[in-house]
Amino acid sequence: MHKITVDKEFVIGDVERDVWGSFIEHMGRAVYGGVYEPSHPTADAHGFRGDVTDIVKNLGVPIIRYPGGNFLSGYNWKDGIGKDRPKRLDLAWGQLEPNEVGLHEFCEWAQRAGSRVMMSANLGTGTPQEAAQLVEYCNFSKGSYWSDLRRKNGREKPFAIDTWCLGNEMDGDWQIGHLTAEEYGRKAHETAKLVKWVDKNVRLVVCGSSSPGMATYPDWDARVLRHTYEDVDYISLHRYYSYEEKGNEFDLMSAHADFDAFIKTVSATADFVKASLRSKKTMKLSIDEWNVWHTRPVFHCKQVYNDNDADRWTVGPRRAENVYDVTDAIALGGLVCAIINNADRVKMGCLAQLVNVIAPIMTQNGGGVYKQTTYYPYAMAVAHAKGTALHAAVCSDPAECIYGDTQKIYAACTHDNGEYALFVVNKSDKEEDCALRFASSSVAMVSRTELTGGLHDYNDFEHPNRVVPQNRAVEKEKGQSYSLRLPAHSFTLLRFAEK
Ligand code: AHR
């Protein structure tokens, strides 16, 4: 018998809305053939697919990181404004960038989809001055060269972009213009200085390690923060999971354990720098790329569309089009729980990505759209993981996984306005009984939604609803204790109300 105890007095921290952000990069079919397809039957007057916009809008994505990713580090934002749009080779992903979608088009689409934009400035080939000009173009009201150019290009009011990334994954040699920690730290500091002189209200994200697998991790994070600690508000973390060598499904579903350790190490590293600089500020974490990503064929996900395929130098080639199954969705549910369980430090996040590229939403050029299995745990988090995060104390059978000892059951809980949202992962291959207790309130169950299925079941255009969450009957009686039966291999959201 497993046990979960929740006490609303035991608060971890506030769950910021922006932790449930997402990411759209000029990569593969994320933009061209994803959100943007002028010839599509549902296209709006601006060439964006109405069917995709509707899904994003209903999902309620608070913030979308743009325009990359690795693409960013070779991108000149000036190519994406005004009338003359050059076609460029995108060296990051080996595809052709027509620049039909640029800053105006994307920001206005995001607004129609109900999302804010988290803009990224190129610190690969880009300079601090170009970053400052970009901020002036987006945020300065009028009367300067770049703000007036924006107005001339059709946008009178500033875009008012409040959150900015200082480059992308600058620790990796795959990055265009890769830098050492000292070089990047200095460049990020100079850029932050100029950007804040243009707009002192922006929130800045500095690049932390692109993965805990990097040889420079976590030294990179400490060195970069030494240069930028007082300039920035967040340090970024990126993390993708797949099957490790010799790893199995249970291991992948246990990725939350590794994710939690990564978050804690970056927090500790930032705190070490805080102490050495005698700073009063606590650094926030922005996990602005997280997901499951299979870069090698696994099970049903046979064609992973790596970047060396026949579509090279075309617009919107297939890149990283993973097909996600139930195992992937449960793994992602575990990552959602780890984010909630670290709500005191994780204040921003982006599921990478949103459409077609390692994405919960998949489109067919000229055709339909469907939701992958991973859409659902993400959507449950966006809709219900809000307010404050509470400690969900779990007592469960220990089990070994490649990340060390973990438990078969993993959970996280939020509390908002008298309502609890409890997210529970059952990694066991059996139904499991679980005793749930609310230590300081009597509550009634409001809803119970389960996502489960065969471990390798997946959705596709022919079977878009093979894996969808099921709503189960709820116990209406108010109480402090509940007996739950959790389906094998499942991600469950239980909602309870105090009133
Ligand atoms: O999200 C896909 C890619 O993964 C991004 O471009 C890069 O930042 C990361 O390596």
Question: Is the CB of residue 59 less than 8 Å from the CB of residue 376?
Answer: no
Q: Got the DSSP string for 37-52? A: -TTSTTB-TTSBBHHH
Residue 13, SS3 per DSSP? strand
Which among 96, 93, 64 is positioned nearest to 79, based on CA atoms?
Answer: 96
Indicate the DSSP class of residue 324. Answer: P
> Of the residues 209, 238, 292, 295, which should be mutated to test ligand 1's pocket, given the most ligand atoms within 8 Å of the CB?
238
Distances (CA, A) of 11 to 135, 184, 359: 37, 36, 32
Which tens digit of pLDDT belongs to each residue from 141-193? 999 999 999 999 999 999 999 999 999 999 999 999 999 999 999 999 999 99
For residues 21 and 110, what is the distance between their CA atoms, to the nearest angstrom? 12
Q: What is the DSSP letter of 79?
A: G
Q: Tell me how far CA of residue 385 lies from CA of 4, 14, 404, in angstroms.
A: 18, 10, 27
- 349 pLDDT more than 70: yes
Query: Which residue is catalytic, options 169, 190, 432, 450?
Result: 169
Ligand 1 pocket test target in 71, 168, 287 with most atoms within 8 Å of CB = 168
DSSP at 73: G
- What pLDDT digit, counting tens, does each position of 202-227 carry? 999 999 999 999 999 999 999 999 99
Query: Would you state the pLDDT for residue 499?
Result: 81
pLDDT tier at 308, thresholds 50, 70, 90: low
Rounded CA gap, 289 and 301, in Å? 21
Let me know if 477 is a catalytic residue. Answer: no
Instruction: Tell me: cis bond preceding 67? Omega within 30 of 0 counts.
Output: yes
CA atoms lying within 13 Å on the CB side of residue 264: 8
Task: For the chain, give the percent of residues with pLDDT over 70.
Answer: 100
Ligand 1 atom 3, closest CA? 69
What six digits make up the tokens of 174? 């795959």
> Which is the closest atom of ligand 1 to the Cα of 174?
10
Q: Whose CA is nearest to atom 7 of ligand 1?
A: 69
Cα angle 323, 447, 395 (rounded to 5 degrees) comes to: 80
Choice among 98-112, 303-317, 443-457 with the minimum mean pLDDT: 303-317
Considering only residues 396 and 437, tell me which one the structure prediction assigns the higher pLDDT. Answer: 437
Averaged over 27-31, what is the pLDDT?
A: 97
In one letter, which amino acid is 386? K
Closest-CA residue, ligand 1 atom 8, reads 69
Q: Clarify whether 289 is annotated catalytic.
A: yes
Residue-wise pLDDT for 436-494, tens only, equals 999 988 999 999 999 999 999 999 999 999 999 999 999 778 899 999 999 999 999 99
CA distance 393 to 10: 10
Give the C-alpha separation, 77 to 137, whole Å. 10
CB-based pocket (< 6 A), ligand 1: 25, 27, 68-70, 168-169, 289, 352-353
Q: Is 444 exposed, middle or buried (0-12, 13-18, 19+ CB in 10 A)?
A: middle
Of the candidates 385, 403, 406, the residue with the CA atom closest to the CA atom of residue 394: 406
pLDDT digits (tens, 9 = 90+) for 255-286: 999 999 999 999 999 999 999 999 999 999 99
Pocket test for ligand 1, best of 289, 305, 318, 321 (most atoms within 8 A of CB): 289
Residues paired with 470 in a beta bridge:
450
Predicted confidence band at 398 (pLDDT cuts at 50, 70, 90)? confident
Structure tokens at 282: 């606590």
Tokens 């609890």, residue located: 420
CA 488 to CA 452: how far, in whole Å?
8
For atom 5 of ligand 1, which residue has the closest CA?
69
For residue 412, report the distance from its CA to the centre of ligand 1, in Å. 27
Q: Can you tell me which atom of ligand 1 is nearest the CA of 27?
A: 6
Rounded to whole angstroms, how far apart are CA atoms 337 and 343? 10
**Among 104, 102, 94, 87, which residue's Cα sits nearest to residue 71?**
94
Query: What phi and psi values does residue 339 have, to the nearest 5 degrees?
Result: -65, -45
Q: Which of 325, 337, 419, 338 is nearest to 380 (CA)?
A: 337
Task: Decide: helix, strand or coil at residue 493.
Answer: strand
The alpha carbon of 149 and the centre of ligand 1 are apart by a number of angstroms equal to 31
> How large is the average pLDDT for residues 291-320?
88
Q: What is the overall mean pLDDT for the chain?
A: 96
* pLDDT at res. 396: 87
CA 125 – ligand 1 centroid, Å: 17
Atom in ligand 1 nearest the alpha carbon of residue 25: 6
What is the average per-residue pLDDT within 69-89?
98
- Please tell me which residue in 37, 97, 289, 450 is annotated as part of the active site: 289
pLDDT category, 425, cuts 50, 70, 90? Answer: very high
Q: What is the reported pLDDT for 307?
A: 63
